[in-house]
Amino acid sequence: MASGAAELKLAWPIDLGLTVASHGWVMLEPWHWEPESGALSHVESVGGWRGMIAVRQRDPTTLAVTWDGFPESDEREILRRAARWVSADWDPEAAIAGLGAGFADEAALISRGGGRILRCSTFYEDFIKTVLTVNTSWSGTCRMTAALVAEPGNGAFPPPQALIDYGEERLRQIAKLGFRAPVVVSATRRMLDDGAIDADGNGDPARLDHDYLTGLKGIGPYAAAHCRMLLQDFSRLPVDSVVVAHLRDRHDTTPDAFIAARADCGAYLGLGYRLMRLREKFAVPDLA
């Protein structure tokens, strides 16, 4: 099967390295990141073919996209998936303005190409991986994700029907999802039946609002807020034990107090927090 290459032109600067570092998704199968070469890759299934798609930074507004294992006719779909990884369609101007004084340095980070949170090729992959972060260690999330990619994904992340067909029992016993197994099966069936996702796992953001997500059995406020953030809705802070500990230890505050103090950021509060964590992680100096 053929390999290929193309350029993904961007309307706004996007820093691939900052996007990769935005949260822990890159550590989960089937992602692979090579810091030395700056190559981000992901095993994909497209039109019955399985292969690898990779992106590298060419300049602030261009990503070089390469692939192996897909015919030339799949180029459009390949570029669409790569664009989703980096939220290439997201216009950051409103976020830069909305973050305001409460997150001035974070707004400046967006201007230099930050602000994108790494996303998978489909909403469904983002959704399942979010479920696998609930009430477990990060090593547990990595282990469960790897098990789904190995079987039933056969090297790629499995589409919705493949997880349903794999069944709750094997999700419990082989993939070791525990209490998450019935959540995965029931939520997948419901989203498919409602048309919230299609057979490939692509989601309809209009149908996948916060109330809909929390209406899925086993999906709480944290998981719903995190999934909405990956749909470019940054109005809620996904609060889990890690966020609680970070705000307590690093900022001597609570999530409620943090949210209240930055209420003016409104629709971009979650993004401001995520970028604050990114700046702290890499000791990025004040940028404003």
**CATH code of the domain containing 69:** 3.30.310.20
From residue 66, how far is each of 22, 47, 203 by CA, in Å? 23, 17, 25
Domain boundary among 229, 248, 264: 229
Spatial distance between the Cα atoms of 168 and 174, rounded to a whole number of angstroms: 10
For residue 214, the enclosing domain spans 123-229
The domain total for the chain is 2
pLDDT of 101 reads 74
- Do 136 and 220 sit in the same domain of this protein? yes
- Do 170 and 77 sit in the same domain of this protein? no
Spatial distance between the Cα atoms of 128 and 213, rounded to a whole number of angstroms: 12
Which residues in the chain land under pLDDT 70? 1, 283-288
Is 77 inside a domain boundary?
A: yes
pLDDT of 210 reads 98
212: tokens are 């809909």
Is 129 inside a domain boundary?
A: yes
DSSP 191: H
Q: How far is CA 151 from the centre of its chain?
A: 21
Nearest to 76 by CA among 1, 158, 6, 156: 6
Is 118 inside a domain boundary?
A: no
CATH number for 168: 1.10.340.30
